[in-house]
Amino acid sequence: MRVAVGNDHAGLPIKAAVIDELQNLGHEVSDLGVNETKSVDFPDFAGRVGRALQEGEAERGILICGSGVGVCIAANKLRGVRASIAHDTYSAHQGVEHDGMNVLCLGGRIIGEAVARELVRAFVNAHFQEEARFIRRVDKINLMEATGSAITS
């Protein structure tokens, strides 16, 4: 699988472990983040990963900032991106299986390298379960994205 990884300065503490784990699992990694501690703006890197998904350059993405919150908010503004923070393995795989999550957001100041590796494994080994209820729910998310409106029924 092709996975785009993006991070800001606060994501550096776990970035190397994330990329190493992906490569050890046999995935192709695009590093779209920074390698310096100089402060940068996280939406720029959420945009890079989102664009990689939109243009078919990656099937999934992983974004890392200090808490995971900022990159998650920014990524979810992009068409076709379904991003979520997951700092537990259940959410990391269930988000893919039930909700079609395609971007995992992590907090470099929240978790360490060992947990990051476990989350990466759970995320990339998960597959969307094409059951009618999950398809219906993702279709509703896509409709909300396309119309910019809440669904009332």
Catalytic annotation, residues: 65, 98
- 93 Cβ contact partners less than 8 Å away, ≥ 6 residues apart: 122, 123, 125, 126
- DSSP string covering 20-43: HHHHHTT-EEEE-S--S-S---HH
> How many C-beta neighbours within 10 Å does residue 151 have?
9
Return the DSSP state at 11: G
Q: Give the integer Cα–Cα distance in Å for 49 and 54.
A: 9
